[in-house]
Amino acid sequence: MPDSPFQIGGIAVKKREKGRWVGYAFVLPAVIYMLVFIGYPIIYNWVISFQDATAYTLKDAGRAFIGLTNYQTIFADPTFARSIQHTFIYTIGCLIIQFTLGFALAMFFSKKFTLAKPIRGLVVISWMLPVTVTALVFKFMFSQDSGIINTILMNLHIIDEPVGWLLSGGTAMAVLIIANSWVGIPFNMLLLTTGLNNIPLDVYEAASIDGATKKQQFFMITVPLLKPTIMSTLVLGFVLTFKVFDLVYVMTGGGPVDSTEVLSTYSYKLSFQQFQFGQGAAAACVLFVCLFIVALIYLRTISKSEVD
Amino acid sequence: MKKRLVAIMMVMSMTALTLAGCGGGDSASTDDTAAAEEGSEESSADADGKITISFWHYMSTDKEGKFVQEAVDEFNESQDEIYVEAQYLPREELMKQYTIGVVSGELPDVGMVDNPDHNSYAAMGVFEDITDLYEESGDTNFLEGSISSCYYDDKLYGLPWGNNCLGLFYNKQMLDEAGVEVPTTWSELEAACEALTKDGTYGLAISAINNEEGTFQFMPWLLSAGGSVDDLSSAESKEAMSYIKGLVDSGYVSSECVNWTQADAEKQFASGKAAMMINGPWQFSGLAEDAPDLEYAVAQVPKADNGDYASCLGGENIGICTGANVEASWEFISWIMSKDKSAEICKSIGRLSPRSDVDTESLYADEPNWKVFAEIMPNAQSRGPSPSWPELSAAIYNAQQQVITGAKDVDAAMDEAATTIAGLENK
Amino acid sequence: MSREKKEKKVYQTPAEKRKNIAFNILAVVLCCLFLFPIYWIVVNSFKIDSEIFAKIPTLWPHEFTLKAYGEQFGALGTTLKNSIIIAVGSLVISMVLSVPAAYGLAKYKIKGGKFFILIFLTTQMLPASLVLTPLFLIFSNLELLNTYLAPILSTATISIPFVVLMLRPSFLSISTELVEAAKIDGCGTLRAFFKIVVPISRPAVITAGCFGFVYAWNDLAYSMTFNTAENMRPMTSAIYTFMNQYGTKWNSIMAYGVLLILPCVIIFVTMQKYIVEGLTSGSVKG
């Protein structure tokens, strides 16, 4: 029964009443899908982490509950502690590089010049590429014997002989951070550009009339006004970096030895190389707790600035 | 109103579709599943009434794999009862498939396994006990050392497929130019490396990767020094590790060797980036293809100055997997392991036949490089057998990686590996 | 927007002109540096073995060859087919579910709407490695391992929240009157949705589709874990396996890499404007 054309004012009210069903019908399938394929597995993951789940018990309906044994096992493993440490080093390293350079680029591309917009758009391509390929090309560029980076650095006389970048822990981690920043910088830049564009120009004009220097303008106007964007960029960056898997798995496989092992690769190896599903799930739960805390902070940040 | 109802129903049916998706076998998903199953390797009788047997191996497609395929094709044409479908999987991947396949039931009919791992997978239940079939067949002419790796708990779980061992490959031209004799001892090897290592060329290429290949390559050094897998913390074992570390530290061996497979070492040698390499006869075909003009020869892996020559026995076995069509599979493996076939295949894929009735000497009379391997073989020691060999091996290659990358010193790494291995054996 | 005012000011004085040129040069240099890895992938895929193994890498192939594309890729057809099936399947699921969801969240005041947005925001942040183990066990019990369904169902979870969050703002901007007017003309809700809403936001919906495709196409973790059989693998896990075997055959690895990035680059080049916008709204805001 069509609504009468003369009841425009009443439509919104009616929509809210009658529309509720339709609204749910639109929204719920996707919500249910996510709950089934992400929500349920996360809960199930907790269950597995308390079970004796290995390759041998894979098909057993009732796997034995073994309490905290899986957690005890991984907490006793020195590699686990190291992988937590590596995850944080990696995340913080990436955040520093991609945020500062991303910010610098955002400032640079917000200047008025002909190619600003096209080039700003172009660099975003690194974000679209499969991480697998990114990892491979960086591995190639940083390889000791045929890598371009060694050749360049040797020609510039910065190093005397080829460095085995991926062959020792510290440099391997540095290369991972560089490779991830290649993907992260344009992303940070984009988010910050959006924020910068929302700062009205007249604020700067007023400030420069008052005699504020560029530096003062940056710290007194740009940074404070950008604070919500900065916060959400950092937190989002943290979450996206902390969950790293593909990049580390393909580039170093956690090696050499275990010097670049991160939580997600550690969990993966337990589950799918040693088939200790219970222990792999336990490691994943630790990862979950870390992410959950940061996600909560993130949600609080955006709910302040966000949503109707 | 009616239309709205239709709308709701349509959206609801999307939900249903979603839920059907997680039911897996439900109507919405059968197409996908069916399509996928067509491709998978279930043993079944096809339209002609032939029995299809799947055969998983790790003879890589571009090298040995094509000879395996040729042999399989020949078998398929030789009779019209059985059709064998050969599939290549990288070694690590295949090992994973066995572990997971035991429980998921997704095993091939016939599968290849690295001989030191055979015990472990037999213990896990990957392979069928074929003791009776073997004994009844009347053809039991296999070398004792080779077939022993197929036994677990006095039962036979497969047949040896091919043997190999390690030797020293050297680039004749480079050695001549540097005026270096073929090294026979560790000191000579070091001296040779020093003379051969130049801008862009390493003296020696080895594989010290973090898988079985790394352990395999470490064994000749370990054994020649008088060390052993059971006693990695002994002075002799540590001496072997120190020696390798020394080669890398002096720049004679690329430190990238921790990432190199034996195939990568071959590429380095073939492209002239390494003057010598430790590798096995299965690289002959690859070398002929990658560097047809390269003049090279093979010698024993240099021995410790006060030790003996040593090499490690490598090779593969093939077994019939649990739940397979045993009769048809046996038909196939007993054909492919028969005297003439075994000799032929092994030669083309760079293995020595594990059969005692194959006359190696006359087979390789005209091939000096082959003869060297044939001479090394009788003294090559096998790894294991031990049902926990994969874990044992992991302790060894991890120690090697830690030492070469400088993460731990030789003492710490070897002591830790020894502790790990002691722990495994007490289990 | 405030930028508009700015554009007009460009090229006013000679000093500003010089500044414009200087900035443009700097921007081009930065861009070239930044895009170097992509250049490196492409250029190395055309080199012959001996050049790859040479001591000094060359910036341009001495001998241009397609050999690396031909070699080792016996199974390229299969992996390419698998990649396409997985990406398209995932794209279909994610569009069928998330376009209506984004619309519902934008245009209907439903109870728990905010909560649903939160669900999408949170699930978007959770990594694959969290659910790999449980999903593996679930799929294993449902006998879905080594079928297309396993990676399709799981990769759709990456794009659904992203697409919902990205499309919601653009649906918000559609005038309610337009939709209501269509309904008055006798269109049902669903028809109005397909005849009015989707066409109006076509660029956004197409962009969303591109993301849906690319996310699944790029996936390694799910496909590698669930589909271990060689004939069921997509290109991402095939290239990884290949690297494990021939870690130094960089020309072949890069050739495979070129084929993998090709669809992403094509999509990006044709849709750049929308993608850059979509990326921002899909990642940050609900």
Q: What is the pLDDT of residues B229-243, one digit of tens each?
A: 999 999 999 999 999
With beta carbons under 8 A apart, name residues in chain A contacting C276: 120-121, 124, 190
In chain B, what are the domains? Answer: 51-164+314-379 (3.40.190.10), 167-312+388-426 (3.40.190.10)
Q: How far is it, in rounded angstroms, from Cα B113 to Cα B130?
A: 15
Burial of A140 (0-12, 13-18, 19+ CB in 10 A): buried
**Minimal Cα–Cα distance from B156 to chain A, Å?**
23
Residue A217 is given by DSSP the state H
Of B1, B256, B405, Cβ closest to residue A143: B256
A22 to chain B: closest CA residue? B8
With beta carbons under 8 A apart, name residues in chain A contacting B100: 55, 58, 275
C58 interface with B at CB cutoff 8 Å:
no
CATH number of residue C253's parent domain:
1.10.3720.10
Query: Given a contact as 3+ CB pairs under 8 Å, which chains touch B?
Result: A, C
B98 to chain A: closest CA residue? A55
Which residue from B45, B158, B54 is spatially nearest to B106, judged by alpha carbons?
A: B54
Range of the domain at C124: 78-283
Helix axis angle, C176-184 to A8-34, nearest 10°: 100
Helix or strand (DSSP H, E) at B75: helix B64-78
With beta carbons under 8 A apart, name residues in chain C contacting A147: 57
Q: How far is it, in rounded angstroms, from Cα A252 to Cα B59?
A: 25
**Minimal Cα–Cα distance from A239 to chain C, Å?**
7
Which residue from B336, B302, B289, B288 is spatially nearest to B316, judged by alpha carbons?
A: B336
- Which pLDDT value is given to residue B26? 35
- Which pLDDT value is given to residue B8? 44
Could you tell me which residue, C174 or C155, shows the higher pLDDT?
C155
- Which pLDDT value is given to residue C73? 56
Per the CB < 8 A criterion, the answer to whether A94 and A212 are in contact is: no
- Which pLDDT value is given to residue C183? 76
Share of chain A above pLDDT 90, in %: 46
Q: B368 preceded by cis ω (within 30°)?
A: no
The answer to whether the Cα torsion of C237, C238, C240, C241 is positive or negative is positive
A28: left (phi over 0), alpha (psi -120 to 50) or beta: alpha
At B25, the pLDDT band (50, 70, 90 cuts) reads very low
Query: Given a contact as 3+ CB pairs under 8 Å, which chains touch A?
Result: B, C
Are residues C34 and A302, on separate chains, in Cβ contact within 8 Å? no
Query: Given a contact as 3+ CB pairs under 8 Å, which chains touch C?
Result: A, B
- Which pLDDT value is given to residue A37? 94
C187 to chain B: closest CA residue? B3
A165 to chain B: closest CA residue? B256
The answer to whether the Cα torsion of B236, B237, B238, B240 is positive or negative is positive
DSSP string, chain C: -HHHHHHHHTT-SHHHHHHHHHHHHHHHHHHHHHHHHHHHHHHHTT--HHHHSSSSPPSS-SS---HHHHTT-TTHHHHHHHHHHHHHHHHHHHHHHHHHHHHHHHH---TTHHHHHHHHHHHHHS-HHHHHHHHHHHHHHTT-TTSSHHHHHHHHHHHHHHHHHHHHHHHHTS-HHHHHHHHHTT--HHHHIIIIIHHHTHHHHHHHHHHHHHHHHH--HHHHHH--SGGG--HHHHHHHHHHH-TT-HHHHHHHHHHHHHHHHHHHHHHHHHHHHHHHHHHS--
Structure tokens at B84: 């064998």
Beta strand B110-114 with B51-57: parallel, antiparallel or unpaired?
Answer: parallel
Per the CB < 8 A criterion, the answer to whether A180 and A126 are in contact is: no
**Minimal Cα–Cα distance from C225 to chain B, Å?**
11
| B137 has pLDDT over 90 | no
Per mean pLDDT, which range of A52-56, B291-295, B343-347 is the poorest? Answer: A52-56
- Which pLDDT value is given to residue A292? 84
Helix axis angle, C113-125 to C76-107, nearest 10°: 150
pLDDT, average across residues A200-219: 84
Interface predicted TM-score (ipTM) over 0.85: yes
Domain assignment present for residue C54? The answer is: no
Contacts of A122 by beta carbon, 8 Å cutoff, 6+ apart = C31, C35, C272
Q: How far is it, in rounded angstroms, from Cα A128 to Cα B355?
A: 55
Per the CB < 8 A criterion, the answer to whether C217 and C83 are in contact is: yes
Q: How far is it, in rounded angstroms, from Cα B311 to Cα B301?
A: 7
Q: pLDDT per residue over B144-165, tens digit each?
A: 888 989 999 999 999 999 999 9
Are residues B256 and A145, on separate chains, in Cβ contact within 8 Å? yes
- Which pLDDT value is given to residue B154? 92
pLDDT, average across residues B111-135: 92
Structure tokens at B309: 């020559």
The answer to whether the Cα torsion of B50, B56, B62, B65 is positive or negative is negative
Rank A193-202, B40-49, C275-284 by mean pLDDT and report only the highest. Answer: A193-202
C-alpha distances in angstroms, B100 versus A48, A58, B119, B317? 17, 9, 17, 20
Q: How far is it, in rounded angstroms, from Cα C187 to Cα C173?
A: 20
Strands (E), chain A: none
Domain assignment present for residue C272? The answer is: yes
Q: How far is it, in rounded angstroms, from Cα B290 to Cα B191?
A: 28
Q: How far is it, in rounded angstroms, from Cα B393 to Cα B383?
A: 9
Per the CB < 8 A criterion, the answer to whether B88 and B61 are in contact is: yes
| B375 has pLDDT over 70 | yes
At A74, the pLDDT band (50, 70, 90 cuts) reads very high
Rank A161-170, B182-191, C193-202 by mean pLDDT and report only the highest. Answer: B182-191
Give the C window 60-89 contacts with A, CB below 8 Å: none
Q: Strand, coil or helix: what is B277? A: strand
Q: How far is it, in rounded angstroms, from Cα A27 to Cα B11?
A: 9
Per the CB < 8 A criterion, the answer to whether B165 and B173 are in contact is: no
Per mean pLDDT, which range of A105-109, A284-288, B376-380 is the poorest? Answer: B376-380
Per the CB < 8 A criterion, the answer to whether B197 and B274 are in contact is: no
Residue B257 is given by DSSP the state G
CATH class of A79-273+283-305: mainly alpha
Helix axis angle, B235-249 to B389-405, nearest 10°: 50
Structure tokens at A96: 């520093």
Q: How far is it, in rounded angstroms, from Cα A117 to Cα C266?
A: 19
Sequence letter at residue A295: A
- CA angle, C154 as apex, C152 and C156 as ends, to 5°? 70
Residue A36 is given by DSSP the state I
Q: How far is it, in rounded angstroms, from Cα A148 to Cα C47?
A: 14
Q: How far is it, in rounded angstroms, from Cα B11 to Cα C51?
A: 58
Are residues A133 and C41, on separate chains, in Cβ contact within 8 Å? yes
Number of domains in chain C: 1
Taking only Cα atoms into account, the Rg of chain A, rounded to an integer number of angstroms, comes to 25
Of A24, A37, A115, Cβ closest to residue C157: A37
Mean pLDDT estimate for chain B: 85
At A116, the pLDDT band (50, 70, 90 cuts) reads confident
Domain assignment present for residue C164? The answer is: yes
Per the CB < 8 A criterion, the answer to whether C45 and C69 are in contact is: yes
pTM score: 0.84
Q: pLDDT per residue over B280-336, tens digit each?
A: 999 998 898 888 999 999 999 999 999 999 999 899 999 999 988 999 999 999 999
- Taking the alpha carbons at both ends of chain C, their separation in whole angstroms is 21
Which of C55, C95, C135, C144 to mutate against chain B (most B CBs within 10 Å)? Answer: C144
Q: How far is it, in rounded angstroms, from Cα C219 to Cα C225?
A: 11
Q: pLDDT per residue over B410-423, tens digit each?
A: 999 999 999 999 98
Q: pLDDT per residue over C45-68, tens digit each?
A: 999 888 887 778 888 888 888 888
Structure tokens at A126: 């690194």
Contacts of A232 by beta carbon, 8 Å cutoff, 6+ apart = A191, A298, A301, A302, A305, C284
Q: How far is it, in rounded angstroms, from Cα C13 to Cα C16?
A: 5
Domain assignment present for residue C162? The answer is: yes
- Taking the alpha carbons at both ends of chain B, their separation in whole angstroms is 72
Which of A257, A272, A275, A277 to mutate against chain B (most B CBs within 10 Å)? Answer: A257
Q: How far is it, in rounded angstroms, from Cα A186 to Cα C215?
A: 18
Structure tokens at B148: 């022993």
Are residues A137 and C180, on separate chains, in Cβ contact within 8 Å? no
Domain assignment present for residue C246? The answer is: yes
